[in-house]
Amino acid sequence: MTARGPVRVLVYHPDEAREYASLVRAPRARVTVATCATPSEAAAAVAEADVLYAWKFPPELYPRAMRLRWVQAMGAGVDWLLVQELPERVVVTRAPGVFGPWMREYVLGWCLSVTQRMEAYRAAQRERCWRGDVIPERLAGKTLVLVGLGDIGRAIGAAARGLGMRVLGVSRSGRRVREADRVHRLPQLRRALAEADFVVLVAPLTRETRALIGAAALAAMRPTAWLVNIGRGALVDEAALVAALRARRIAGAILDVFEQEPLPPEHPLWSLDNVVVTPHISGPSTAPEIAPIFNDNLARWLAGRRLRHVVDRARGY
């Protein structure tokens, strides 16, 4: 993994490439930094790149990246990166620790909006109506099921327990973690779902997790339970979800991610009264938060040391 000569870093981001590039810290004699914001700019520059620091890099350009050895992802998920076109020799690194603090606030904020009956009070206020009959519930004592127990899932689990919730986890390994009262393996998913007041999907999208929440999983949930998806749209069979929501087989869904993004205007999820749609903002990437992770790894790369946060490409995360 030792690098020789100036290392060429290509920073790719549709809107903020310059900001990410401006925060790259490395001796200029050892590193050159180029920025690209469009696929055509990237097509012209990718052949020179040793390192890619990127958000949703166009996969069709990987075959031209003959020098490429390392990609640092700017986002939480790496499914867009782990494509066939990416040569085996390329190391992929993630940015753990950054997204959990954002996403735990998103999840608990929306869970609280349900238990605090916020929508009902706001609607009543618009009608100048005193709804003393609508009583909030306590989040404490309710059960949150986390499907996915990586650093983000565990950050959510810790915060939920801090509010007195019971936390059950579901993961591939079933390994116990401090942030959950109990952990099930994936094949026991439905057993966990049956106990949930809130189900939070925060698993990576892999062969094993694609369409994990289909008709059978939704049927295992209680009619009072809410589904919160902050992972990937394709973790859920959207047609089955729409059917379950329409039939009120579950209470509702808070959805930040979708099979197709932006969610098409004609999609039925927009108009269901038991659905909240947010535009994939639960864990935003910001250059100042990702930069220390990249800079630490870049220093390691220049020193010929092992990179941190390396993705297991066979596992998919």
Binding stretches for ligand OXD (CB under 6 A): 75-77, 280, 283, 285
Give φ, ψ of 301 to 5 degrees.
Answer: -60, -45
Closer to ligand OXD by CB, 106 or 198: give it: 106
- Catalytic position from the list 261, 306, 308, 315: 261
- Minimum CB distance to ligand OXD, residue 150 (Å): 12
Task: Give me the least distance between CB of 260 and ligand OXD, in Å please.
Answer: 14
Nearer to ligand OXD, 99 or 226 (CB): 99
184 catalytically annotated: no
Nearer to ligand OXD, 213 or 245 (CB): 213
Q: Known catalytic residue: 267?
A: no
Distance in Å, CB of 210 to ligand OXD, minimum: 15
CB of 69 to ligand OXD, least distance (A): 22
Nearer to ligand OXD, 74 or 220 (CB): 74
CB of 72 to ligand OXD, least distance (A): 13
Is 232 a known active-site residue? yes
Catalytic hit among 172, 184, 232, 238: 232
**Cβ-based nearer residue to ligand OXD, 143 or 229:** 229
CA 97, 102, 108, 111 torsion-angle sign: negative
**Active-site residue identified among 30, 117, 185, 280:** 280
Residue least distant from ligand OXD (Cβ): 75
User: Catalytic residue positions?
Assistant: 232, 261, 280
